[in-house]
Amino acid sequence: MHLTKSDIENLERKKRLNIINSVSGIKPANLIGTKSKEGQSNVAIFSSVIHLGSDPALLGFITRPTGEVPRHTYENIKETGFYSINHVPTTIADKAHFTSAKVDRQVSEFERCGLTEEYLNDFHAPFVQESSLKIGLSLKEELPIKINGTIMIIGQIEELIIPDEAVDDKGYIDLSLYNTAGISGLNTYYSLHPVASFPYARPNKIPDFGT
Amino acid sequence: MHLTKSDIENLERKKRLNIINSVSGIKPANLIGTKSKEGQSNVAIFSSVIHLGSDPALLGFITRPTGEVPRHTYENIKETGFYSINHVPTTIADKAHFTSAKVDRQVSEFERCGLTEEYLNDFHAPFVQESSLKIGLSLKEELPIKINGTIMIIGQIEELIIPDEAVDDKGYIDLSLYNTAGISGLNTYYSLHPVASFPYARPNKIPDFGT
């Protein structure tokens, strides 16, 4: 299949959504936990969490601003300045997936989807107990992406919880040990299996690839 | 393991790099192909490609600006306005990985790493022949991320090549069929296996999770 820009524009909307949401490759499955000032908790799945830097330790994710559709995650982050990012294990992919349903603000997706709120170290936002790797972040920057009206939310890592068994002494984390899931498109979940690890690529260490 | 912000700041640099580069979850493995005005081709691995929108079809990726270290991918995109994004199959993870070695600008990583340049439809930038899913993009926006001096490069999809067998009539793409790889941290490659697919999450279709 070879599609040009105009072929893509002329695709039926749902088919375009499915295709274009898949072409970036595998996406990480994360649940973002927040709590409003009034104490209403919220959790929602996001596949757009991205590493931005290690020092300071920064992660980004993409959202739409609140417009016709309310965006509880975004509103709570703006209100309080704090949120959590929690890896989704494949064992709870169904519960995680249905957090994307648009429910009323006074309904907590934790309860509706059978997930458990967890509070650690007086951190304002709830973590997801069923998740093995949990990150508490503070909001640092909101970056408007003018070309399509989305926003990149940038946060700094304040708290980081990793199971001891999943990280080795060099700091390598095995994502398969706790069944961390990937997502393709809008609704297909993948399990991850490590197949190869290579050293830092120094120019004088490039193998002879027979060229 | 529980690390606070100051624990992270006090980690040994390499260990911090490895840990923080892993905590966002799985990352997509993509090769970005470019060609300078003078005709020098370049290909480099990136794990930061992200879906930004479907209409228009936009992808982003994160890079550093050219400073002390030359950034050939970034320079070529700025010079010509075009680049390609190509999925990395696990079968060429080794070759893809070593494209990250800093070689002189007159050396093509295609040749050095045993990868094959492919030109399609008079598109300026080279595609990677060994890749099954290939995307040609035009530069639309450069978004400076001031907090750490990185840049998000935003491009629109101009050409999209997907193997017919990997996409169904709804537009779902099976990433496992052509062994598309994921990356954790800086150097571990994962294979992907679909485990579950769920319908669009309508509020009245949330399963009873026993709550």
pLDDT at B211: 60
Nearest CA in chain A to B3: A160
Enter the pTM of the model: 0.96
Cα(B101)–Cα(B104) distance, integer angstroms: 10
Name the residue in chain B with its Cα closest to that of A50: B24
DSSP state of A167: B
- What pLDDT was estimated at residue B138? 98
Per-chain mean pLDDT for chain B: 94
In this predicted model, what pLDDT tens digit does every residue of A4-50 receive, in sequence order? Answer: 999 999 999 999 999 999 999 999 999 999 999 999 999 999 999 99
Question: What is the distance in angstroms between the Cα of A211 and the nearest Cα belonging to chain B?
Answer: 6
The confidence band for A200, taking pLDDT boundaries of 50, 70 and 90, is confident
Model pLDDT for residues A132-177, shown as the tens digit of each residue: 999 999 999 999 999 999 999 999 999 999 999 999 999 999 999 9
User: CA neighbours within 13 Å on the CB side: how many for A44?
Assistant: 26
On whether ipTM exceeds 0.90, the answer is yes
Q: Is the pLDDT of residue A116 over 90?
A: yes
Q: How far is CA A105 from CA A39, A96, A195, B165, in A?
A: 11, 17, 43, 42
Q: Band the pLDDT of B205: cuts 50, 70, 90.
A: confident
Q: Look at residue B34 and tell me whether its pLDDT is greater than 70.
A: yes
Interface test with A, best of B6, B12, B13, B24 (most A CBs within 10 A): B24
Beta bridge partners, B48, equal none
Measured between alpha carbons, how far is A120 from A127 in angstroms, rounded to an integer?
8
- For B83-129, write each residue's pLDDT tens digit: 999 999 999 999 999 998 888 878 888 999 999 999 998 999 999 99
pLDDT computed for residue B203 by the predictor: 83
Using the beta-carbon criterion (under 8 Å), do B192 and A187 form an inter-chain contact? no
Amino acid residing at B64: R
Q: Which residue of B lies nearest to A100 if distances are taken between CA atoms?
A: B201
Binned at pLDDT 50, 70 and 90, residue A201 comes out as: confident
